Amino acid sequence: MVDLFTLDDDDTDPVLSDQTHAPLFSKPSRPDERLIGFMSSILRAVDIETIWALTCEYMQQLGFGEVVYGYSPTYHAGNIGLRDEVLLLSTLERRVVDALVDDGHYRESVTFNWALNNVGVVSWSMSAEEAGTPSFESSPAALDFFAREGFESGCTIGFPSARRRGRAVMALLGHRGSTQEEIDTLLAGLGDSLLVAASMAHLRLSEMPYIDIKARNGLTARQREVLEWVAEGKTVADIAAILGISPVTVDKHLRLARETLGVETTAQAVIKATFLNQLFVYPPRLPEG
C-alpha cells in the first residue's frame, strides 16, 4: 500500500504513540557520531536553505531517496492554511510537488493523518485500521499518482508540538525500486536516531523566518519594526515619536502590513506575523538574484 499524505479534521494534540517511541529511560547506547555531527551542523546553520541541504544530505546518507517536509504554523482544526503560509520543502521535481499539493493527493494517505496527531516514525505499511481510521480509502486517482511518481516505499514522521496551532510532517521516500520491506528493515536498524534527527531539523526549520518570494508575503523591515512596537504596547503616536516619523506614516506601514499578511486588524497582524516568525527575529536571508 502506498501512503504519503492525508488530512484529518481532528484537532487533538499530538501524542506519543506506543508503537513508535522508546521508553523514557532507555538503556544508554554508544553515541552515533554521524547523528551528532549532523545535529551540530544544523545548530550552527543560520538560514532555511542550509538547514534543508544538511537534512537532505543526512537522510540520503541513511539510505532514503527523497525527502518531503511541510510545516504550517497556522494549522488548526484540519485547516492547513494558505499555501503561501506553508513552508514546503522537497527534493522531488517541482511538477510532482505541485500535483501532490494542488490536486490534494497529500490528503489521500493514512500516514499523514497519523502524523498530524502523533509523534514518531511510521512505516507506509501501516493500515487504516492500525492508524485508527478504518473507513479511510485512497482514491484511484491518488493511487495512480503515487504509483506513477515512484511513491513505492517510505515512512512518515510526526513531530511534537507545544501549540494547539501549527503542525509539521516529514516523509522519507525509498529509492525507486526499493521495497517497503527493505525500508522497514532500515527503520528497525535506525531506531530512535531517525526521529531525533528529523525532530531537530524540524525545530530549526520551524523557527526560521519564512518568506515566499513569489507570494510576496514577507514584511518589509519598517513594517516589522512598527508591528514590534505595537507588540510592545506602544500607540501610533508613541511609535511616530520613537522612529522620528509622522503618525500618518506609521498608519501607512501598519495598513501595508495588514494587507501583506491578509488580515483586517493590527492585532491580527501581530499574531500572524509572530506565527510566521517575522517579528523579533534577525532579518531573513533572501536568495540572491
Supply 274's cell numbers: 509572530
The verdict on 76 and 170 lying in the same domain is yes
pLDDT value of position 11: 44
Note whether 52 and 89 are within 8 A (CB): yes
Q: Tell me which amino acid residue 155 is.
A: C
Count of the separate structural domains present in the chain: 2
Q: Residue 274's domain is classified under what CATH number?
A: 1.10.10.10
pLDDT value of position 289: 40
Give me the domain span that covers residue 140. Answer: 15-207
| Residue 201 belongs to some domain of the structure | yes
Question: What is the spatial distance between Cα 277 and Cα 74, in angstroms, rounded to a whole number?
Answer: 11
pTM above 0.75, yes or no: no
| Residue 152 belongs to some domain of the structure | yes
Which residue has 518531503 as its cell numbers?
68
Q: Residue 26's domain is classified under what CATH number?
A: 3.30.450.80
The verdict on 222 and 199 lying in the same domain is no
The three-state secondary structure class of 109 is coil
Q: Which of 207, 236, 261 is the last residue of a domain?
A: 207
Question: What is the spatial distance between Cα 263 and Cα 253, in angstroms, rounded to a whole number?
Answer: 14
The verdict on 164 and 242 lying in the same domain is no
The verdict on 197 and 172 lying in the same domain is yes
Question: What is the spatial distance between Cα 22 and Cα 20, in angstroms, rounded to a whole number?
Answer: 7
Work out the mean pLDDT of the chain and round it to a whole number: 82
> CA 270 → CA 176, 223, 227, distances in Å?
45, 11, 6
DSSP letter for 177, please.
T
pLDDT in tens, 75-86: 666 666 666 678
The verdict on 180 and 223 lying in the same domain is no
Predicted confidence pLDDT, tens digits, the chain (289 residues): 334 433 334 444 444 443 344 333 344 445 588 999 999 999 999 888 899 999 999 999 999 999 999 998 876 666 666 666 788 899 999 999 999 988 989 888 999 989 988 999 999 999 999 999 999 988 999 999 999 998 999 999 999 887 777 789 999 999 999 999 999 999 999 999 999 999 999 999 988 876 554 444 578 889 989 998 999 999 999 999 999 999 999 999 999 989 888 889 999 888 878 777 778 776 655 444 4
The residues pairing with 157 across neighbouring beta strands, listed in sequence order, are 121, 170
DSSP letter for 84, please.
G
Helices and strands counted in the chain (H then E)? 11, 6
Note whether 87 and 48 are within 8 A (CB): yes
The verdict on 192 and 222 lying in the same domain is no
The verdict on 244 and 203 lying in the same domain is no
Which residues does 178 contact at the CB level (< 8 Å), separation at least 6?
65, 152, 153
The verdict on 60 and 146 lying in the same domain is yes
Note whether 227 and 218 are within 8 A (CB): no
The residues pairing with 16 across neighbouring beta strands, listed in sequence order, are 119
The residues pairing with 158 across neighbouring beta strands, listed in sequence order, are 120, 169
pLDDT in tens, 259-278: 888 889 999 888 878 777 77
Please, what sign has the CA dihedral across residues 51, 57, 63, 65? positive
Supply 154's cell numbers: 517510505
